[in-house]
Structure 1
Amino acid sequence: MDRHAARRAVWALVIAGAAGFMTALDNLVVTTALPSVRADLGGTPEDLEWTVSAYTLTYAVLLMPGAALGDRFGRRRLFGLGLLVFTGASAAAALAPGIGGLIAARAVQGAGAAVMTPIALTLLTAATPPERRGTAFGIWGAVNGLAVAAGPLVGGGLTEYVSWHWIFWLNVPVGLLLFPLVRLRTAESYAPGARLDLRGTLLVSTGLFGIVFAVVNVNAHGWTGGRVLTGLIAGGLLLVAFVRHCSARENPVLPLRLFRNRAFSGVNAAGLLMFFGMFGSIFLLGQFLQNVGGWTPTEAGLRMLPWTGMPLLVAPLAGRLADRFGGRIVVVCGLALQATGLTLYALTVSVDLPYAAQLPALIAGGTGMALYFAPASALVMASVPAAEQGIASGAHSALRELGGAFGVAVLGSVFAARGGYGSPQRFVDGIAPALWAGAAGVALAAVAAALALRPAPAPAVPEPAADREPAGV
């Protein structure tokens, strides 16, 4: 690789890493600041939930349209626009005069993040030679892992020692510094022949909106609640119509033929199931450390670092292993290790479980998560032609977010059915079966990846004509 190409790859990694850090951080940073937000702005418990869910909702719904718009109108242009939207919405969240304004700003933040995320991966893939992509995605995964690990700590620390407003102000200087780098250090690119599929974009966006809106309301309204059932049914029907539309259209927003590729469909199925088990479990484990262990949100975040912080250490190694041995074996091992960590937690969880006894499960789960992230993203991008990498990245990210939303809803429902918040023992009674459900989801992800990513059998080679018996002998 020549010096110019190497510099381009480094700048693409810096830009993609910084964008990924900001968007991943804002998924979790607000959770530990909610008591202070309520003290300043008021609002009901449901309002506070929506300060988290509004971001998740627009982020999940707009990932695929964001990728399609980048393919059609220019990836660098749309990435810069998404960055400006995200940065401006961060400032609006910091200045919000009331809880309604904060929820609205969080929704706009999610929209900006949805445009940036899939395009960042496309820019990184295009700028990095194939033999270096595993390492590049490993570093990118480590940066995202740092954001996941730092989210609760940054939110708790800034809220405790400065002000909750600074969890949003933090994005503004980063965004303003990053924007000129995007303009100066990345090349504009388009997907050849890309056309904007307005009908397909509308169907997939509204369908995903219905599904995600329903699942983020499950904890407040139950699976049989009117808004939950309406969202699930309407969203499901719209997604069925979307599939039919994509089957009939020549150039749809999501070409269904991509799913005929075993690697693409396998990694996406594994990603949906892995996020189902991982996000639902982390959602409950963070509360376990506070409600049963008795630690503050910041202390609980520190004790989650053996899980959430492991990608920072392991993801670069995972990328190098994928470059050397192939991403398939690394992904399957990572998923199996994460399922093992959740199983260990489910087997040992109790009211008086010491923190030292939790470390093997936390380390195993975090190491498995780190081994999965970078190779899985590289496998998705390698499974499709370069012209379709943007939409492939958007579809992969959307399915993962959908899996995470369902994981929180389903594991939360299992927890509520078998336990509750009334006492530490009630919490343990609920979290144990929920963790078993999470472990089962990740184990299924490992099976899906192992089956779908297995090497195809080599085609039979016909014998040379000279070695065959002459006809009629």
Structure 2
Amino acid sequence: MTTDDTTISDPTSPDTLPGLPEGYRPWPALWALVAGIFMILVDSTIVSVAADAIWVDLETDLNAVIWVTSGYLLAYVTPLLLSGQLGDMFGPKRLYLLGLFVFTAASAWCGLSDTPEMLIAARVVQGLGAALMAPQTMAVITRTFPAHKRGSAMALWGAAAGVAILVGPLAGGVLVDSLGWQWVFWVNVPLGVLAFAAAVLLVPNLPTRRHRIDYAGILLSGCGLLLLVFGLQEGQRYDWGFIRDLGPVPVTVWGLIGTGLLALVAFVWWQSRASEPLMRLTLFRDRNFTLSNVAVACMGFSFTGMAVPLMLFAQKSMGLSPTRAAALLIPLAVISGALAAPAGKLADRVHPRYLTGLGFAASATALVWLGFAAHGSTRVSTILAPLALIGVGNAFIWGPLTATANRNLPLHLAGAGSGVYNTTRQVGAVLGSAAVGVLMQHQVEREFAPFAAVLPPGAGTGTAQTLGPLPEVLRGPFAEAMGTSVFLPAAALVLAFIVVQFLVAPSHLARS
């Protein structure tokens, strides 16, 4: 029997899972859900390609361009824990459809934006829609696929991510070059309508369970992340000193960061006492779940942190058009997509530390290689090999790590577990965007300082404007700044490599 013919409704089958319709086949529903997640992944890669065009067209600064990504990620991560819980309460299908509607409508708003502030606001709403969608996919996988087949199901998710890495930048480059950056958002509208129809027809209504809403947890986690990310990203702008334009009483950047960290510590403390916590700390009794969450946070940090400096380097220092800059990612995407299915199957047979360790080691090596290769005279051929190596690493990280994290979770905690896992990944992503953004601004200021006399009119250093193509004399310094910036994501991957060495084999491998 082929995978696509597999049903899990026969009560005599060891694959039977509760609450599914008679004769239900999980694969078509998974394809429908992956269509929506694919749109989210495409959107994130498209925006990185459009960063330079947004920077120039809206006549804004580097800090605002980074907020276009960070605002989306911050809105994405804050309600993720609640979203997983709401999926348990009202059904993952309903939450997924609501999120898809919000995401699609916000995409149209992004396309209509004509100021940086309007675009950032629209991206925040778009992030809220993505937050409602994301946990539901893994919840459906956990609740409709038996444990020994989840690796193959996760492989489809990994393949979609690999294809999105290819389709997103290429489509973004073509759209920016031919129609303008607004179309990287408009393209989501027809895709969203099609994905909505597919989910309505194919995704089942799964059993629900009641929860109490943890309002204190929402407040503590949201405020903590907002203060931490705002402090990190705005620190360079305020020279890490006082911020005097937030209210009548000036505050310090480090005060915001410290308060954010204290709020997050208070959030964890509250979760240990709340009757219906957003984040069930009992989930972390499973060693693999805990370690996988740390590793995926590092992966989110790295994957998001590398995207903008890479695309800005390609366009501003190498002088490539958005389409040609996006084409640099073809080896990464093709290799990642081609290896996703084999890696997913191996996740059901091979110790997770070997697969994920290989992935993190390959990706970290590639980013260090890429950082040293970034110069004003860098050729396209020079950076294709490290980008291809990142594709190898991605294939052995996303699917196998996700399968390892969720394999041992009980079915009634599927939504909560997927919510936590997605949250830690997005916490890493938003911190990566903010931290690498700060490093980028610092390095640009440092590298441009000796060339103040030749900066374009209206341009400056740090967060100031650098409109249009860079003068030849500044391409090298800008390349050095972007190259140094990718060392920080590489360090996060090294940490993840160390963490996954402590994963344990799943029970079916341990028995064999």
User: What TM bracket, shorter-length normalisation?
Assistant: 0.7 to 0.9
8 Å Cα contact 1:17/1:144 also seen in 2: no
8 Å Cα contact 1:65/1:205 also seen in 2: no
Closer/same/farther in 2, CA of residues 415 and 201 from structure 1, 3 Å limit: closer
Closer/same/farther in 2, CA of residues 166 and 414 from structure 1, 3 Å limit: closer
Per mean C-alpha deviation after superposition, the further-off stretch among 187-196 and 73-82 is: 187-196
8 Å Cα contact 1:30/1:155 also seen in 2: yes
Distance of 1:412 and 1:41 partners within structure 2:
19
8 Å Cα contact 1:279/1:404 also seen in 2: yes
Asked whether 1:438 is paired with 2:465, we answer no
Closer/same/farther in 2, CA of residues 84 and 399 from structure 1, 3 Å limit: same
Partner of 2:447: 420
8 Å Cα contact 1:215/1:405 also seen in 2: no
Q: How many pairs align? A: 458
Partner of 1:28: 45
Closer/same/farther in 2, CA of residues 273 and 348 from structure 1, 3 Å limit: same
Closer/same/farther in 2, CA of residues 187 and 228 from structure 1, 3 Å limit: farther
8 Å Cα contact 2:150/2:407 also seen in 1: no
Closer/same/farther in 2, CA of residues 417 and 204 from structure 1, 3 Å limit: closer
Q: Which amino acid aligns with 1:253?
A: L
What's the CA shift string for 1:337-364, capped at 9, x where partnerless? 1122123334544443433232332221
Q: How does 1:202-351 map to 2 (within 5 A)?
A: 202-218=219-235, 220-221=237-238, 223-224=240-241, 226=243, 228-351=253-376
What's the CA shift string for 1:201-220, capped at 9, x where partnerless? 22222222322333343454
8 Å Cα contact 1:134/1:322 also seen in 2: yes
- RMSD of equivalent CA atoms: 3.0
TM-score for the superposition, normalised by structure 2: 0.80
Closer/same/farther in 2, CA of residues 85 and 3 from structure 1, 3 Å limit: same
What's the CA shift string for 1:74-110, capped at 9, x where partnerless? 2211111111111222223333465543332221111
Distance of 2:375 and 2:115 partners within structure 1:
40
Q: CA deviation at 1:33?
A: 3.6
What's the CA shift string for 1:277-311, capped at 9, x where partnerless? 33323332323323332222321111133234532
Closer/same/farther in 2, CA of residues 320 and 4 from structure 1, 3 Å limit: closer
Partner of 1:154: 171
Partner of 2:13: none
Partner of 1:197: 214
Asked whether 1:363 is paired with 2:380, we answer no
Partner of 2:76: 59
Distance of 2:236 and 2:340 partners within structure 1:
33
Closer/same/farther in 2, CA of residues 432 and 93 from structure 1, 3 Å limit: closer
What's the CA shift string for 1:240-278, capped at 9, x where partnerless? 221111111233111112223210111111112233333
8 Å Cα contact 1:216/1:405 also seen in 2: no
Q: CA deviation at 1:452?
A: 3.5
Closer/same/farther in 2, CA of residues 326 and 189 from structure 1, 3 Å limit: farther
From 88, 95, 98, the counterpart of 2:105: 88
Per mean C-alpha deviation after superposition, the further-off stretch among 170-179 and 89-98 is: 89-98
Closer/same/farther in 2, CA of residues 3 and 435 from structure 1, 3 Å limit: closer
From 198, 203, 208, the counterpart of 1:181: 198
Q: CA deviation at 1:372?
A: 0.2
8 Å Cα contact 1:266/1:453 also seen in 2: no
> What secondary structure sits across from 1:323 in the alignment?
coil
Q: Which amino acid aligns with 1:146?
A: V
Q: CA deviation at 1:42?
A: 6.0
- For structure 1, which runs of at least 5 residues remain unmatched after alignment? 460-473
8 Å Cα contact 2:50/2:173 also seen in 1: yes
Closer/same/farther in 2, CA of residues 340 and 201 from structure 1, 3 Å limit: same
Q: CA deviation at 1:433?
A: 4.4
8 Å Cα contact 1:12/1:124 also seen in 2: no
Distance of 2:180 and 2:484 partners within structure 1:
38
Closer/same/farther in 2, CA of residues 172 and 347 from structure 1, 3 Å limit: closer
Partner of 1:465: none
Q: CA deviation at 1:112?
A: 0.5
Per mean C-alpha deviation after superposition, the further-off stretch among 150-159 and 251-260 is: 150-159
> What secondary structure sits across from 1:249 in the alignment?
coil
What's the CA shift string for 1:106-138, capped at 9, x where partnerless? 211110000101112211332223332212211
Distance of 2:305 and 2:224 partners within structure 1:
22
8 Å Cα contact 1:28/1:151 also seen in 2: yes
Partner of 1:130: 147
The percent of aligned pairs where both chains have the same amino acid is: 33
Distance of 1:168 and 1:405 partners within structure 2:
20
Partner of 2:18: none
Distance of 1:141 and 1:78 partners within structure 2:
22
8 Å Cα contact 2:374/2:480 also seen in 1: no
> What secondary structure sits across from 1:324 in the alignment?
coil
> What secondary structure sits across from 1:29 in the alignment?
helix
Closer/same/farther in 2, CA of residues 30 and 410 from structure 1, 3 Å limit: closer
Q: Which amino acid aligns with 1:448?
A: V
> What secondary structure sits across from 2:278 in the alignment?
coil
Per mean C-alpha deviation after superposition, the further-off stretch among 10-19 and 27-36 is: 27-36
